[in-house]
Amino acid sequence: MTKRVLILATDGFEQSELIEPKKALEAAGMETVVASPKTGSIRGWHQHNWGDSVPVDAALGEVCAADFDALLLPGGQMNPDALRLEDEVIGLIEDFADAGKTIAAICHAPWLLIEADIVDGRAVTGWPSIHTDLENAGAQVFDEEVIIDGNLITSRNPGDIPAFSRALIEALQAQPETVLT
């Protein structure tokens, strides 16, 4: 059975942090679904300007953790800052965490992990400006391209995308296949 990865994002996602891991996952034979509080499409941020739009595959209310093997949270500054104000987003992240499913967050996206209260005592990384936020939430923060702590995978920035994508794909490949009865 094909592994399914939910990608949660909204306008202002860091373009490379959504598009590149999505392509890597799909190249590895995995299905990706982009969900957002918005319908239609969401627009990325590329360096210092608005970037490309990405179609939204499902509205936020149409997805649940039980239907996916992993959750991908792209960064950018605007995207996670907007999403952390959405109770439904935080509830969905908590559902993935409660189920022990893989959660991969890059750049500023660990802000969402803080909001979901799942970083206390965990080893993580993220964009340098959120290190204090992570520490204040009880996380052990490291400055490395990818940190894997149980079901959490975190990375710092777009330069870490190859290692981040590889870690997520390896985590999914290591999961046992779900057998439907």
* Domains observed in the chain: 4-174 (3.40.50.880)
R_g over Cα of the chain: 15
What's the whole-model pTM score? Answer: 0.96
Q: How far apart are CA 148 and CA 26, in angstroms?
A: 21
Q: Active site includes 108?
A: yes
Give the β-pairing of 58-59 and 70-73. Answer: unpaired
Q: Would you place residue 181 in the very low, low, confident or very high pLDDT band (cuts 50, 70, 90)?
A: very low
Q: Active site includes 131?
A: no
pLDDT digits (tens, 9 = 90+) for 22-49: 999 999 999 999 999 999 999 999 989 9
Which residues on adjacent β-strands are paired with residue 148?
153
Question: What does the mean pLDDT of the chain come to?
Answer: 96
DSSP assigned state of 158 = G
Tokens of 162: 């190859």
Q: Which one of the listed residues 48, 64, 107, 131 is annotated catalytic?
A: 107
pLDDT digits (tens, 9 = 90+) for 131-151: 999 999 999 999 999 999 999
**Once rounded to an integer, what is the mean pLDDT over residues 83-107?**
98
